[in-house]
Structure 1
C-alpha cells in the first residue's frame, strides 16, 4: 500500500515545477519519505515566527494563504494554489517562518523531509535555479546563492569557473634589480620558461614589468641594446590585484585595461604574475581573441565579422550559467572596442575624403542599455557626440564634420548587427551632436521643465557613458548634471512618478499581462514590464542619493544597498531579479534570433512562467517604496 501511495505522489508532483526537472528515481525516493497531511478550513500549517520544521510543503489540494502579522493586522502576502511549494525560506535558511500558512479551505499537503530534499536540491542545477529565482510564493531565500554557486562550480570540466577564487599561480615569479642588463634578464626569463618578469628596487618594491613583447618590440625594434639596463624597456604602469579574488575580476581587469599581464600581490607583497597564457588553455570562445581581432582589424568587413562571433560566445556562456554581471562586462568591453575602432576608421575615411578635422576635442558617449553596460544582444544603438566650444564662424563646419563622423560610425555598427535606433537617437542626428554648452542647456531644460518628452529623454540620456575622445567633456557634463539635480529636487519627483507608470507585469490572478494588439499581440513585453521598471527605479534612487557616475542597474542597487541598510534586502532582491531577467531575455533572444524583448507566452513552459512571475516581486516592493519616499500619491 505504501508503494502505491508513494507512486501516486510521484505521478502527481512530477507534473509541477520544479519537480518536472528532477530525475524520476529521485522523485520516487522523495515520495517514499513524504508525509500526507490533512488540514481543515481555518487551521494553520505553521505560524509566523514559529521555529522551522524539517519539511518543505507542497499543496496537493485546497488553498493556503500566506499572511504576515503587522500591527495586529493580517496582511495577505500570497495565495498558494495546487502544485505550489511553501515554507521555502525557512527550509533554506533554518530561520523561523516569516509568514503564517493559513488554510483558506480544506487542504491536502505533502511534507517532504529536508534530509531527503536538500541533497537533491544541491545536486540539481535546474532545481537550484528555481529557488534562485525567488520562487515558492515570493519567499526570497537569502541562502540560495551558495547552493546556486555550488551547482555552477560543479559544471562540466570544459567550463571556466569564473567565480572561483584564484589561490595559486602557474607562472614562475622572476624578479630582477634595475641594474640587470637586458641580456641577463632575457636569459633568466628563457631559462624559466616564463613570459614576464618584475623589476624591483633596492627596497624590494615593484617598479616595473617586462614582458616577452617588450623584448621583441623594443630590443628587436632597435629601441634598446641588449647591454642596456632592463629599466630601458620596462613598463612602469603596473596594474595589480590581490591574490584570492574571483577569476572573473582578473579577466575583466585585463580586458578593460587592455593588458596581457597583471601583477598579483598577497598582503601587499608581490606574489606573482597572472597572464593571458594561463587562460587560453581553459577558455573556449576566448573573449581576448575576439577583442584583439577587433583591435587588429584592417577593414570594416573584418571588424564586423569579428564582432559577429560574440553571438556564439554569448550563447556558450549563457548555457554555462556564467554570472550575468560578468558576462555583460565582457561583452561591453568587446562592444566598446568595436566602437573605438569604428571611430578610428571613420576619422581616417573623412581624412581621405579631404574633410579637415576641426581643431577641437570631442567625446563619443553610449546611451541607454549600452550606456548601462547591459546590452548583451545586438539590439538597436543609442549614442551621441559632445564636442568642445568653437567660434561662431566655425560652428557649422565643426558640427557637420562630427555629424558625418557619427553617421559613418552608426553605419558601421549597423553593419556589425546593431539596428539603427527607431527614434534616431544616434550621433549622426544633428539633435544629438552638440557642443558641451549645448548639452548643458539641453539637460538643464529637461530638468527644469520635466514634461513627458523631457522625462523620456532623461531616462535614456542620463545613462550616458564615456567611450572615446576627451573624457574631460564628459566629466564636465557630470558636474553640471549633479548641480542641476541638486538645485531642482522637484525633478526627482517627476522622474519617480514616471518610474511607476509601466503597467504591472502580473494581473490580479498572477497571469502575465500580454500585449493586446499590434505585431506582438499575446506576447509578454519583458523589457517594458519588468526590466525597464527596475532600471528606472535604480536610476532615480541613485540620482536622489547624489551618485551620477554609476550607470549599471545592478551596480546601482548594490550601491543603494550599502547606503540604506534598512532597505538592503529589497535592493539585493532587485539585483537577483534583474540578473535573472537579463539572463532570460538573452536566452530567449538567442533562441528566437531577435531582441528577446517580446516573449511568446504560449511557447514557454510553466516552469519558466513561474520563474518570471516570482522574479517580479521586487518591482512591486520598489514601486511602493518610491511612492512613499517621493509622496507620489500627492503629486500630479
Structure 2
C-alpha cells in the first residue's frame, strides 16, 4: 500500500535544497519517518535554552519567526517561510537553542528526524556542502541569491548587524603530537600516554600516519583480554587514520567526528594520509573551541563550585570579548552579553557565599551592581562596584541582620576579587557598611542626594543612579527606583546640579581641532578617553533619562536609543551620541587589552590617521547633546 502522506512530503522536499540533491527513493525513505506538525499563530516551536529536539523542521506553509531577547525586549531576527529550514542546531551542537521559534501565522511544518537524516549528510557530498556553506555564508539557503536570509539562525549568536557563526571558526589543534612505531609494544605506548597525560598516540611510518591508538582501543582491546599488553601497536591500532587539513572549522571537525564515530582527527600537511603528520585534534579541542560561546559560559558559571572555576569563566569571557572586537561585533551587543555573564558570575558568587555562611539570609535582600557594571559597560576587568539592600526590620533585629549581610557581602567581594574584579579603591562595595543598608535607609540616602545635591551628592549620583538588579528580591530595587523618580520629578535644582556637572567636560578638542591631552603626571601627553570622551556622554544620557523618567534602562547606548524614540526632534543627535559612545568604548577596550590596563589613556602617537579621524568625529555629538542640556535645564549661569 502506498503511503500518500510520505509521497506528499517527498514531493515537497524534492524542490528544496538540500533535499533536491537526494534521490526520490531516499526522499520517500526519509518522508516515511517524518511527521506533519501544525502550529497555530503565536504557537512556540522551541524556546531559547530549550534542549535540542530530535527533529529539525522545514516550513511547508506559513511562516516561523526567530527571535532573541535583547535588553529585556524580544527582537525579531529572521522569518522562515516556505522551504526554509528551522532547528538544525542538533547537527552542530549538543547544547540548548539560542533563539525562540514561533509561528507568526498559522503554519504547517514537516518534522524530519535527525537520526534518520544524518547518514545522508555523510553519504551525499552535496548535502554536506549545503550545510557547511550555510554556516560559512551565514544563510539559511546559500543557493538563494535573491533572499538568502540568515540560515539556521538559532545556531548562531545574534548581534544587531551581523550574526557570528560560532561553529565555522577555524579550530586549533595540538602541534607535534606524540607518535610511535607499529612494532612498539602496547605497554610502552600506554605508559607514554599515562606519563604525558594524553588520550591518543598516532602510529607512523616515515612520518606518515598509518594508524592511531586511543584510550578507547586500550579499553576495548586490552582491558577485555582480546590482546595482551605485550602486543604490538600494529595489532590493536585503529585504521585507517582519518586525516584533515590544518585550517578546518569547528563545524567540519564535528561533522567528521560524527561521520566516522571517532574522537580524534590527525592533521597532516595537505589533509591526506600521504603527507606528513603535523598535529592532532581531539573532542576536547572541539569543546575548548566552543568554550567562549556565551551559552556555554553561563552553563559553566551556574555549575561552578568555587572562585577559581568562576575565574576560568571570566578568562574565557575575556577571550570572547577579544574575538568579538576582532570580528567587529557591535559594542551594543557585546555589552549586553558581557553584562549578563558578569551578572551570572556575581549571582553564583552570592550563592556560594550563602552556602559558606551555613544559614539562609534572615530577611529578603537584593544585590546591585553599580557604576559601569550597573550600566553593563564593563568590558575590561576593572574594579568591582556594588551595593546591598535588605528588607526593613524592627530595631531590635537590625544589628544582627546587618552583621549577617556585611559578612555575606565580604565573602562575595572576596570571591569576585579572586575571579579578577579587584576591590574598589574607593570602597564602593556592599562589604562597606555605608553601602549595605535597609530599604528605608537607602531611600533616605537617595533623598539626601537628590534634595541636597552638593558636590559630593552629585558624585554619588553619578555612581549610584546607575544600578542593575543582580540577585535576590527584585521588589526592593523597584521600591528604590519608584522613590527616586518621585523625588526627581520636576526637581529643577537637582537637574541643574547634575546638568552643571555633566557640562564640566566640554568636547575634548582645542583650537585647530587638536586633542586636549594630559599636561603632566604619569599620563602626560596621553588622551583620557574616559573622562574627556565617555563620561560626558554617560552623564548626559543619565540626566536626560532621569528627566524623561525612563525606568529599567541603565546602559548608555540603550538610554540614547530610548531618548531617540521619545524625542523625535532630537533623534539624529541621540543616534549620533550612541554611535560616538560605541566608537569611544571600543577604543578604550582595545587599548586596555593591548596594554593590560584600564584602557583609559590613549597614546595618540600610536594611532593611525584614520583612528584619529574616528576619534575626532566621535566628539561632535558631545557638543550637540550638551547644548540640549544647557537649553533644557537653563544652565547658562551654572556653567
TM-score normalised according to structure 2 size = 0.59
Which residue of the other structure, out of 471, 476, 484, is the alignment partner of 1:473? Answer: 476
Q: Confirm or deny that 1:437 pairs with 2:445.
A: no
Q: Confirm or deny that 1:306 pairs with 2:313.
A: yes
Deviations 1:499-529 (A, max 9, x none): 0012541112222111122222222110000
SS at match of 1:381: coil
- How far off its partner does 1:358 sit? 4.0
Q: For 1:474 and 1:212, how far apart are their aligned partners in 2?
A: 30
Q: For 2:409 and 2:508, how far apart are their aligned partners in 1?
A: 37
Residue pairs, 1:119-158, within 5 angstroms: none
Which residue of the other structure, out of 78, 93, 101, is the alignment partner of 1:264? Answer: 101
2:400 corresponding residue in structure 1: 397
Deviations 1:396-435 (A, max 9, x none): 1111111111122111111111121111111111100000
Residue pairs, 1:278-357, within 5 angstroms: 281-282=167-168, 285-351=292-358, 356-357=359-360
Report the count of equivalent residues: 412
Q: For 1:446 and 1:462, how far apart are their aligned partners in 2?
A: 10
Residue pairs, 1:241-280, within 5 angstroms: 242=76, 244=78, 260=97, 262-269=99-106, 275=154
- How far off its partner does 1:359 sit? 2.6
Q: 1:381 to 1:169 in 2, by over 3 A?
A: farther
Say whether the 8 Å CA contact 2:507–2:532 is kept in structure 1: yes
Say whether the 8 Å CA contact 2:52–2:97 is kept in structure 1: no
- How far off its partner does 1:486 sit? 0.9
SS at match of 1:244: strand
Say whether the 8 Å CA contact 1:243–1:265 is kept in structure 2: no
Structure 2: gaps spanning 5 or more residues? 1-15, 19-29, 55-72, 81-86, 88-94, 110-151, 158-164, 170-288
- How far off its partner does 1:626 sit? 1.1
Which residue of the other structure, out of 422, 425, 434, is the alignment partner of 1:422? Answer: 425
Deviations 1:24-56 (A, max 9, x none): xxxxxxxxxxxxxxxxxxxxxxxxxxxxxxxxx
SS at match of 1:264: strand
2:628 corresponding residue in structure 1: 625
- How far off its partner does 1:259 sit? 6.2
SS at match of 2:511: coil
Say whether the 8 Å CA contact 1:436–1:477 is kept in structure 2: yes
2:130 corresponding residue in structure 1: none
Q: For 1:302 and 1:358, how far apart are their aligned partners in 2?
A: 24
Say whether the 8 Å CA contact 2:458–2:501 is kept in structure 1: yes
Q: 1:458 to 1:269 in 2, by over 3 A?
A: farther
Deviations 1:104-145 (A, max 9, x none): xxxxxxxxxxxxxxxxxxxxxxxxxxxxxxxxxxxxxxxxxx
Say whether the 8 Å CA contact 2:506–2:623 is kept in structure 1: no
Q: For 2:520 and 2:166, how far apart are their aligned partners in 1?
A: 49
- How far off its partner does 1:215 sit? 10
1:407 corresponding residue in structure 2: 410
1:42 corresponding residue in structure 2: none
Say whether the 8 Å CA contact 1:243–1:264 is kept in structure 2: no
Q: Confirm or deny that 1:517 pairs with 2:520.
A: yes
Q: State which drifts further: 462-471 or 407-416.
A: 407-416
Q: Confirm or deny that 1:451 pairs with 2:454.
A: yes
- How far off its partner does 1:336 sit? 0.9
Q: For 1:475 and 1:336, how far apart are their aligned partners in 2?
A: 18
Which residue of the other structure, out of 532, 548, 557, is the alignment partner of 2:551? Answer: 548
SS at match of 2:602: strand
Say whether the 8 Å CA contact 2:517–2:528 is kept in structure 1: yes
Deviations 1:360-400 (A, max 9, x none): 10001111111111111111111100110112111111111
Deviations 1:234-263 (A, max 9, x none): xxxxx98756279xxx9xxxxxxx964644
Compare relative contact order (CA 8 Å, sep 6+) and give the higher one, 1 or 2: 1
- How far off its partner does 1:266 sit? 4.5
Q: For 1:600 and 1:280, how far apart are their aligned partners in 2?
A: 34
1:529 corresponding residue in structure 2: 532
Q: Confirm or deny that 1:383 pairs with 2:217.
A: no
Q: For 1:581 and 1:563, how far apart are their aligned partners in 2?
A: 25
Q: For 1:271 and 1:386, how far apart are their aligned partners in 2?
A: 51
Q: 1:569 to 1:274 in 2, by over 3 A?
A: closer
TM-score normalised according to structure 1 size = 0.60
Q: 1:428 to 1:215 in 2, by over 3 A?
A: same
Q: Note the aligned Cα RMSD (angstroms).
A: 3.4
Q: For 1:485 and 1:424, how far apart are their aligned partners in 2?
A: 27
Q: For 2:466 and 2:330, how far apart are their aligned partners in 1?
A: 22
1:563 corresponding residue in structure 2: 566
Say whether the 8 Å CA contact 2:42–2:105 is kept in structure 1: no
